[in-house]
Structure 1
């Protein structure tokens, strides 16, 4: 990022802010007055554009930094906005999530609005929801409680009361875990319990803050006098409750800049309403609308596939559509592959990941994306079997992991004892070694490996920070960790990322595998009865595709389990994208006696040749056949047909020693 010379004059600083922006980004950055809508496609430099717009407004004197409120959806995104603005010579801008901004204001105004101090917050709804469900005599488990809590959140973000809920849920096509009337009863009981306990939930933060501005003129005057310019990031994801708060902040003014991508609207199920973005120009007829379509993230091949995918969607009313223009050098064409079943699909992906990592691609630059979290297990098993480290995104937050909390406590204690500048990395290693962590020796097993990787990520972060600031000491490192924890900005953990498509939004990798692309999964079965829900599923796949910088692979399997009928149709979204006869990775398998898997066709013939070779190799070495390779390993070889030693090494049961002893012979047998 280009840093701005603090000693330069305002005009020079303003011109420096615009340097390096493309024509469309520059137009957006210079649009600093009145209503502005920036339609920013995937990879088009959205954050760069809005931070440069704020900086340009400050350096030209249009904005006073303290009078700008930029709101986004995650603490990490807000932290990134602040960091980039600091690099552009701008401090004092309030960049916060909706909830953080509302909490700050409500805490200040609570005595005036609520007649007392700020109430406590409900950190987790499940306890209150469980009690409310019990009062309604509903039998629940943890899953149904989470679903009930989700329905209450949806109702509150869409401004539905308990009385409104049944009709509103029917109109929205909701599928609640219980009858709508029962959910409404639980919702009402939950609200009563909160009032009795004198606490607020996170939706209440926004609702009560909006109420304070709407019903207390003195509060409105003070807040609106403080904040005169608003920027709303990810505006396609705004829900009615957030829009109500934004309207209360604005108070009829039009000094607002919204930024969003209608092609990435994927949160309607949580209450998000893309009509706020799509209808922005209708609401503000004099709005400036700027389109950012130059994609700096992905190769033209990835961009082309993304355009074809979203181009099949029906035209939506409102703002013009976006068509990405790839700006990077040419890359490989996206790959398509069909598999007989999910384990075969996972094995093929794991083998490819093994080859990529062995070829020098960092594991952290590879992702496997799926529609639902339940799909992760088969990929966890396949990657573990191939010896490929992985990270499951969407699980426990990094800084909340027990091993990380313990490490931070120990690092804080060590920092209190002093630390020589320039010795940060050895100091961090020493502290972590006291917990039993051994560098360069990741242990076997999923949980132990995950713990090791978490601590290794702290060392890697220390190395990166020292490269930027060689004099950083342990106290500075601990302070940096605290800032990251507040912003939910986890360091990079070296492992292939396993993530749902929703969890992948806002992220990017060099290599992306999008898996499980069959109808009933993508699009999800629940969406098939409503055309608008199917189109949201298309946009979700578009989000997954546009996460890839260089290599993209899309795959599906014809059956869930080995030996099952291969009847699952590939996703309807692949029509016109994938060739009609996509390459079919492992051939058909069937269940033999006692459920044993039997290979058929060419794979079966190769399996028998491999068994014959194994018998000779075992006889020559005077060892049992299974010592050379097990049947399961031979089956994996027959199914994937590795062409190189690297591909062979990625298969389960093929270690370095066996690769050295038998690798060339196996490849010769496969190729014969």
Structure 2
């Protein structure tokens, strides 16, 4: 059993080659869910299903939810579907009255009504494919024994990615079977957001008595230097199996950590590295923790004329929320834009039906703008649509828009006022997506254009240039999220944006699973065969403002001797791309190397081996920031080399800082301490 159809197909092909004949394969090689579906078809009468039942997809589930709960929106239905799937992945049925339902704000009545409607159709959803076989075998001992005798041996691939119901299913079948084998790497468990539980592999021996652990410690991919760094990265996790991974490959180039002043410099470096990879006919993987970072890298590669492939994601300007944002801006500047009007006027829904939109666009095609047409057709427009059009019109023509300083500021106001900001915030909650971050990235980019007609023209021209050329092509230059990189390998790897709040990701201490984030970093590092670079910026645009950032705590944990530290002081494009004194035969790219790694990277005065805590920072202490004013420390988190403080300021704003890297924040002196 494995997790993807692709992996199952590859296993079948390998087994067929080993046995010389497809006919000799007696094994059932499939995904978990395919195996569960086969059991349901065998025992369909026991679970009151027709043998030819269908499997509902997410859209089908949403349709059922809208029947179960009258008057809910598509976003609300999607959120309920996600919660039901979440419960099924944890083995929680609609009649269990589990407290987790309350935590998810899902009523048992909604769950039960959904199940009743689905049962009446004679079909199942994806979550049923494991939950129903588990419940059947748990209740029906005869069926359980039949399955145990039919499949005496079981091998599970990628066991670190199993969730609750998969564990319960396997434990029920094979707890006392000596022919049960799982293969996995706890250091590569990175799918908690999908329900994966790393403890399944960590506690395997206690759940399956008498089991034996066989450590496969030789790495056949990465050079010794890269592997040494990877081991250092993951060694800071406490919940893991100990292992001494080693490489039999030749020693290669020492991994690089590169500091950039601004993200533009980082983007230019991506181009330079891509050129070097193409010159040497090497594959290059460019990884990032959040998808919104891809915009800058995509744009830089497009403008440089370098083909690339964006893996597992939609190109930035082809994403739904970005198309919505651009449609808003285009309609704001041009009321005759029929395409943009049709796309955005009823999103999110404001009771403007398809018939009304068609009537307006037909008249617009004659040369009138949408405001003029609205007034002409007003008496023929239903009352609900009139209200929606009035609201949309007030948002699009608000006087304050003209006073905004930049295109980005206009976009931010428009996106909020028409309701799209809230719409995509809810979408992110329902689908675990990053749509809001993508819009924030577009706002940041658009903030580089002033709110003047000439600048608007420049903005639209640049968007059109990139839109027309963003296409996934077969290329050795591949961009992807760190999650997408799992299972792949590249001659060269660059992991970008390794900054606190991005990797590890999270706005608050409570939002961060530090050990999983560190495992994700480890996965990215171990994709590299010959060359590895890790980059971060001192400042990065966010929602139209240039904000100070800090190197990730993961970078600060690295042993100095395992990396080459480089600093780019961005003064001009020529300086950035200038080849400094560096033997090109030994590396893939020109770097501005400095040997003052300790002074630039670690807090001044600390030793390389045992930096001290910033113990003077305590919860409850009052602080003063040059820009934000007075505040109080809410939380302090210490690592072995630095501390992070979370501060709430008098105006209500909250922010996180690494105080040893910022002179802007100081602890207020206490009076009368003697």
TM-score (norm 1): 0.58
Q: Distance in 1 between matches of 2:69 and 2:79?
A: 17
Query: How far did residue 495 of structure 1 move?
Result: 4.0
Query: How far did residue 530 of structure 1 move?
Result: 6.0
- Residues 2 and 158 in structure 2, CA contact (< 8 A), matched pair in contact too: yes
- Residues 351 and 386 in structure 1, CA contact (< 8 A), matched pair in contact too: no
Query: How far did residue 513 of structure 1 move?
Result: 0.8
Query: How far did residue 557 of structure 1 move?
Result: 1.4
SS in 1 for 2:213: strand
Instruction: Determine if the alignment matches structure 1 residue 543 to structure 2 residue 523.
Output: yes
Partner of 2:251: 330
Superposed, 1:172-191 pairs within 5 Å as 180-182=104-106, 187-191=111-115
Partner of 1:450: 471
SS in 2 for 1:512: strand
- Residues 256 and 564 in structure 2, CA contact (< 8 A), matched pair in contact too: no
Unaligned runs of 5+ in 2: 316-464, 591-674
Partner of 1:347: 268
> Deviation per CA, 1:333-356, whole angstroms, max 9, x where unpaired?
111111223232122112211222
Instruction: Determine if the alignment matches structure 1 residue 499 to structure 2 residue 485.
Output: no
Partner of 2:304: 386
- Change beyond 3 A, Cα 1:332–1:354: same
> Deviation per CA, 1:563-597, whole angstroms, max 9, x where unpaired?
9545211110111327599422242xxxxxxxxxx
SS in 1 for 2:154: strand
SS in 1 for 2:200: helix
Q: Distance in 1 between matches of 2:191 and 2:97?
A: 19
SS in 1 for 2:39: helix
- Residues 518 and 569 in structure 1, CA contact (< 8 A), matched pair in contact too: yes
> Deviation per CA, 1:533-590, whole angstroms, max 9, x where unpaired?
1111111111111111111110011222299545211110111327599422242xxx
Q: Distance in 2 between matches of 1:218 and 1:314?
A: 42
- Residues 66 and 77 in structure 2, CA contact (< 8 A), matched pair in contact too: no
SS in 1 for 2:566: coil
Query: How far did residue 170 of structure 1 move?
Result: 8.3
Query: How far did residue 157 of structure 1 move?
Result: 0.5
Partner of 1:79: 9
- Residues 160 and 185 in structure 2, CA contact (< 8 A), matched pair in contact too: yes
Q: Which has the larger share of helix?
A: 1
Partner of 1:118: 52
SS in 1 for 2:45: helix
Query: How far did residue 166 of structure 1 move?
Result: 8.1
- Residues 175 and 208 in structure 2, CA contact (< 8 A), matched pair in contact too: no
> Deviation per CA, 1:165-198, whole angstroms, max 9, x where unpaired?
8843788xxxxxxxx3257665555434423433
> Deviation per CA, 1:35-86, whole angstroms, max 9, x where unpaired?
xxxxxxxxxxxxxxxxxxxxxxxxxxxxxxxxxxxx0111111122222222
Unaligned runs of 5+ in 1: 1-70, 172-179, 398-443, 454-492, 588-602, 604-634, 652-672
- Residues 133 and 139 in structure 1, CA contact (< 8 A), matched pair in contact too: no
Q: Distance in 2 between matches of 1:349 and 1:383?
A: 8
Instruction: Determine if the alignment matches structure 1 residue 577 to structure 2 residue 501.
Output: no
Q: Which moved more, 1:145-154 or 1:221-230?
A: 145-154
Query: How far did residue 285 of structure 1 move?
Result: 3.5
Partner of 1:377: 295
Q: Distance in 1 between matches of 2:234 and 2:567?
A: 26
Q: How many residues align?
A: 429
Q: Distance in 2 between matches of 1:246 and 1:517?
A: 38
Q: Distance in 2 between matches of 1:517 and 1:133?
A: 45
- Change beyond 3 A, Cα 1:511–1:237: same
2:541 to 561, 580, 602: 561
**CA-atom RMSD, angstroms?**
3.4
- Residues 302 and 470 in structure 2, CA contact (< 8 A), matched pair in contact too: no
Superposed, 1:575-654 pairs within 5 Å as 575-577=556-558, 582-587=565-570, 603=571, 635-642=572-579
- Change beyond 3 A, Cα 1:151–1:117: same
Q: Distance in 2 between matches of 1:155 and 1:135?
A: 18
Instruction: Determine if the alignment matches structure 1 residue 204 to structure 2 residue 128.
Output: yes
- Change beyond 3 A, Cα 1:216–1:167: closer
SS in 2 for 1:573: helix
- Change beyond 3 A, Cα 1:332–1:352: same
Query: How far did residue 523 of structure 1 move?
Result: 0.8
1:159 to 91, 94, 99: 91
SS in 1 for 2:531: strand
TM-score (norm 2): 0.58
Query: How far did residue 127 of structure 1 move?
Result: 5.5
SS in 1 for 2:14: helix
- Change beyond 3 A, Cα 1:188–1:350: farther
> Deviation per CA, 1:582-635, whole angstroms, max 9, x where unpaired?
422242xxxxxxxxxxxxxxx2xxxxxxxxxxxxxxxxxxxxxxxxxxxxxxx5
- Change beyond 3 A, Cα 1:93–1:396: farther
Query: How far did residue 232 of structure 1 move?
Result: 0.8
Q: Distance in 1 between matches of 2:37 and 2:228?
A: 43
Partner of 1:283: 207
Q: Distance in 2 between matches of 1:184 and 1:555?
A: 47
> Deviation per CA, 1:398-449, whole angstroms, max 9, x where unpaired?
xxxxxxxxxxxxxxxxxxxxxxxxxxxxxxxxxxxxxxxxxxxxxx976677
Query: How far did residue 358 of structure 1 move?
Result: 2.1
Q: Distance in 1 between matches of 2:515 and 2:63?
A: 32
- Residues 132 and 190 in structure 1, CA contact (< 8 A), matched pair in contact too: no
Q: Distance in 2 between matches of 1:108 and 1:285?
A: 30
- Change beyond 3 A, Cα 1:582–1:132: farther
